[in-house]
Amino acid sequence: MSTTIEISSERSHAGKSKALVLGSPREGGWKKGIAIMDFILRLGAIASALGATATMAAADQSLPFFTQFFKFEAAYDDFPTFQFFVIAMAFVGGYLVLSLPFSIVTIIRPHAVGPRLALIILDTVFLTLAAAGAAASAAMVYLAHNGSEDANWLAICGQFTDFCQATSGAVVASFVAVVFLILLVIISALALHKK
């Protein structure tokens, strides 16, 4: 709490003129807390996005025995949807890493609006990308597990058990990243609101 007061005293002129209008003397501390939570959520999102990318990219299984399938190896790059997943989640993870400095700027200067606005807009775009990758791969994982009787597509998870486990894990991790990104957009909106 003492740190908060020190920093807001550096900006005493801007802080006081705003406090007069909005009548909230503890506003600086409140916004600083939001900014620190933003940073922590961003770390969580990075871990899950990069974890999802690595798990999916490493998903590869060769079968030691003959089956009804022509090919005896399954890897993520046999399925365009899983390729899209790897590319999308790698982009999301890369963006989140690059966004960390901007998040730190909002911790140091809780009243700076520019970085926060840039973060909420880019977070929204990459949230959409992450949700698209996660959902498309979830549809594929569902098909791999259950097949589709009407389209005459057989479930392949009976043979490729390890491959299916790896891809399912990656999809779960990507949905965790999506939840982190939704929370990031919401707290950025709250921070913009209480200006």
Q: Could you give the CA distance from residue 83 to residue 75 in angstroms, rounded to a whole number?
A: 10
Torsion, CA 124, CA 127, CA 133, CA 139, rounded to 10: -110
Q: Does 148 bind a copy of itself (CB under 8 A)?
A: yes
- Nearer to a copy of itself by Cβ, of 57 and 74: the residue is 74
Residue 156-195 contact track with a copy of itself, rule CB under 8 A, x = bound: x---------------------x---x--xx-xxx-xx-x
Q: Could you give the CA distance from residue 94 to residue 98 in angstroms, rounded to a whole number?
A: 6
CB of 94 to a copy of itself, least distance (A): 19
Residue carrying the six token digits 């926060």: 116
Q: Could you give the CA distance from residue 48 to residue 179 in angstroms, rounded to a whole number?
A: 10
Question: Under the rule (CB under 8 A), what is the footprint of a copy of itself?
Answer: 17-18, 21, 68-71, 74, 78-81, 113, 117, 120-121, 124-125, 127-128, 131-140, 142-144, 146, 148-154, 156, 178, 182, 185-186, 188-190, 192-193, 195
